[in-house]
Amino acid sequence: MNRLLHLPVLLSLASPMAVHATSLIVVEDRGGVSALPYYQYLAPEPTEQSAQSENIGVRGQGSFPVRSDQLTPGQVQGRVINAPGLQPLFLVGDDESSRKWLSQRRDQLQQLQAVGLVVNVASAERFAEIQRWAGNLQLVPAPSNDLAQRLGVQHYPLLITATTIQQ
């Protein structure tokens, strides 16, 4: 019974609070400049370019052709490296030696959970064909001249782990 009497009192106190909660109280206004221009690029309005940009990037048609001028199919001289924490990755292209290499190494690459960089491929159709060669391996079309330069490699296909570069 006592609780029922408290309910109307609580409701009468809560209603003025709700009115005040919705109105803005300015404590002090020192002027300044609106910050809106800084935020407008975080959530831009959709434009015609938005529809076109869906085709750009790693998975879109706009990422082709992929060319790595400093990398060609050929023999790789294996060597030891020291790159702790490096996730295993492999480099392949759209060529017969890469196809054969993938078919021979697919199980090992899956066991290592290696990610493949397709360094030379002309089109999305050819990339899809390389994906068929690779089975369940993760592939990304990616120009890799900088990587080749840093690692001192000129040829592919190859496997790079935290401890070795090998064909």
pLDDT digits (tens, 9 = 90+) for 25-35: 878 777 777 77
* DSSP-assigned beta bridge partners for residue 116: 90, 139
Q: How far apart are CA 34 and CA 102, in angstroms?
A: 57
pTM for the model: 0.65
Chain centre distance of CA 12 = 55
For 39-49, give one letter per residue: b (16+ CB within 10 A) or e.
Answer: eeeeeeeeeee
Question: What is the mean predicted confidence (pLDDT) over 70-96?
Answer: 96
Q: How far apart are CA 66 and CA 16, in angstroms?
A: 65
pLDDT tens digits, one per residue of 8-49: 555 555 555 555 556 778 787 777 777 767 666 665 555 555
